[in-house]
Structure 1
């Protein structure tokens, strides 16, 4: 089941088939300008790395770094539009629950939304997205990192719902001449290597700091549609969805 928090008018437009996607740069700037973390995240789409060795490369440029503790910034990601939902494993509203702490955090993070869009027919919604937008959109639950991305098995945590190529994330994407960063990383006695280039840099958007875990986010991103402003994509009206006043969720708080 998916939930979307916001203003009733915006949620009703979404339910009617207007998919409103916001570039990551908007969320990055929001925290910087307001000083408020929540909807805003100045490190949205950044990739945290801690390693003994990293090799960064671009046309005419190769640099080997030792003992790094840094963020890799995939610049294209700032202009990749996305839309976010709250993901619940519940299949029906009657099975849904949320802790009072998480609900309070969501209300703060989303500037006290007055309504919630509830999508019970999750599979139908994914099919709607895939039929309407094809392989232009990629969907995954966000993985919340407590420390360092290299402490996680990327193949296990990235579960893409639709539209992703079958090859392993971050393994060896085709070198089409557009590679602009790559990393060879070592932790202890275990070597892990992954390459990031323009064919897969959008995958960094599916990782966030554990501070945001109460949002239980599922993201949809459109890496082929770069924009520095909000864009609207047309899909079919969403079946099995309702818009409720935010107070409707009070009875599901545990």
Structure 2
């Protein structure tokens, strides 16, 4: 196979050597063709952007919902409970002893995939799968987000300071494993986890997300909260850069070479 490839290369080089003038013309065509291709590519992509925007605006990424609760409101949730941490951060909470709240969105594209991202706040003595006598693997301090009957994310979480474990990111993990921050909210123990999940809207174009905090002690000992809730519809339109550039390149070379031939006559 390699021998065949080199044979073809040798033949091509021989032809170019015997026709050096044509080779220079060919190279000139290539250079000018690439320049034309660049201009054509910009025009092509601009046209595609206009067409795709006019024809299908919902195909582009857009933020469908966002709330950092700094306004003190929880629009779209089944009830409002905004807490301010000792550091001054506002968030939705407290969620404890199985309490939950549901975010419902409607008027969305039917039967489409959407994406939810948010931050979980694990606060004070949240202790995951331990200690013995309080929690058990079947009843840990955990946070759950679900959509309808589907559990999208459920993990036991623990803060440092106790001989506990958590099952995030894997069972048996040390406390605060995978946390993006810790001891930033002003409590004697706190950790923050960033979560991303996806769900499908129903045939009416609506979707719901339920957030549940499970703890086993009093509210004054431990609870969960969440913040920075973002829901997006992301269906990016692939940009046909490679195919468009190659095609425009050959077309540009053809235009330049034809012009040169016409001038040489």
| Larger Rg, first or second structure (1 or 2) | 2
Please give the range of the TM-score, normalised by the shorter of the 2 chains. Answer: under 0.3
Q: State the TM-score, normalized to the length of structure 2.
A: 0.22
